[in-house]
């Protein structure tokens, strides 16, 4: 065991099951003290599992999309362990439906839990670290957000989820630049793994093998998250990593492509061939999931 986060303190949201549970167990195995958040009793169960294995953890039950609870969550880490070094934003849910059938409630719920549920604890953690930095402390803070292939490429039947996850990606990029001066790095992962959100929808793909390596186990994702939370990763920020099975890759996002300059206002009737030429020169976009 390398102990890549030994002695560090981490808050992990949505850690009662799935990816969050795997993250919490991996962080504890690697020597971190972990605040395990979830909305129900599963958080206590994960804490019991960590403690039984000799690790250090405490539970915090609540809704991370609630501004005041999120502040209390960050304070739990500081008051219990004396500081906070890493925040893993993992909590999320899906309400899949084709866009024309989507209800306002289904849109609002997913955006609230998935996107605002990242923003609230992140905002309070960032304020804590900025204060420490302004007091002259050397801050080596790490934030790992959880986006998705749906947020990078889109996914049919998941317009609400894809929009929330795309927002998380943009938040990651902006915050990485704004917070660098305070010693805070901000990265995101786009994982593929067997979780309560995926094991029914993609039952065949996500099924565990009868023996040997389990490529869709959420445990395969957590080592990268632990490394990104370590002091060693301080030169890595503003990046998105896709991770599944034994594969880690860097996602290459939007960049300026071919352009045409008329040096004057375009006439609408002239733009058809111009746009088609630019599209012919640009690389073909990756297909939307499910298309």
Catalytic residue among 60, 161, 222, 233: 161
Task: Dig out the tokens for 68 from the structure.
Answer: 């005041």
Cα-Cα-Cα-Cα dihedral sign, residues 2, 148, 77, 234: positive
Find the DSSP H helices in 91-213.
104-110, 117-134, 149-153, 159-179, 203-206
Q: Which long-range contacts (CB under 8 A, 24 or more apart) does 245-249 make?
A: 245/192, 245/213, 245/215, 245/216, 245/220, 246/213, 246/215, 246/220, 248/224
Q: What is the DSSP string of 77-96?
A: HHHHHS---EEE--------
Task: Dig out the tokens for 64 from the structure.
Answer: 């991370």
Q: Is 182 a catalytic residue?
A: no
| Interatomic CA distance for residues 89 and 121, integer angstroms | 8
Task: List all residues 6 or more positions away from 138 whose beta carbon is below 8 Å from its beta carbon.
Answer: 183
End-to-end CA distance of the chain: 42
Catalytic residue among 165, 222, 230, 233: 165
CA distances for 8 relative to 167, 203, 229, angstroms: 28, 36, 9
CA distances for 152 relative to 159, 188, 192, angstroms: 12, 11, 13
How many CB atoms within 10 Å of residue 244?
Answer: 19
Nearest to 7 by CA among 140, 106, 98: 140
Catalytic residue among 33, 60, 148, 233: 148
The residues that are catalytic are 148, 161, 165
């Amino acid at each position: 065991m390398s102990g890549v986060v030994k002695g560090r303190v981490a808050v992990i949201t949505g850690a009662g099951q799935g990816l969050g549970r795997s993250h919490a167990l991996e962080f504890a195995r690697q020597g971190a003290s972990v605040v395990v958040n979830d909305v129900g009793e599963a958080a206590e169960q994960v804490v019991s599992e960590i403690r039984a294995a000799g690790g250090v953890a405490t539970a915090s039950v609540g809704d991370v999309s609630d501004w005041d609870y999120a502040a209390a969550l960050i304070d739990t880490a500081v008051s219990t362990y004396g500081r906070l070094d890493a925040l893993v934003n993992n909590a999320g849910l899906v309400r899949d439906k084709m866009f024309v059938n989507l209800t306002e409630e289904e849109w609002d719920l997913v955006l609230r839990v998935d996107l605002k549920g990242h923003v609230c604890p992140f905002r309070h953690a960032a304020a804590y670290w900025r204060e420490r930095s302004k007091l002259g402390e050397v801050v080596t803070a790490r934030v790992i957000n959880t986006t998705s292939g749906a947020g990078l490429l889109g996914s049919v039947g998941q317009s609400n989820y894809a929009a929330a996850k795309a927002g998380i990606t943009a938040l990651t990029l902006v915050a990485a630049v704004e917070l660098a001066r305070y010693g805070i790095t901000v990265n995101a992962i786009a994982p593929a793994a067997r979780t309560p959100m995926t094991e029914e929808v993609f039952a065949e793909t996500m099924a565990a093998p009868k023996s040997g390596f389990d490529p869709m186990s959420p445990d395969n994702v957590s080592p990268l998250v632990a490394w990104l939370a370590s002091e060693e990763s301080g030169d890595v920020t503003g990046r998105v990593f896709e991770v599944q099975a034994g594969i880690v890759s860097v996602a290459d996002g939007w960049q300026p492509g071919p352009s045409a300059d008329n040096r004057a206002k375009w006439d609408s009737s002239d733009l058809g061939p111009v746009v088609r030429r630019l599209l012919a020169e640009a690389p073909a976009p990756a297909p939307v999931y499910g298309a």
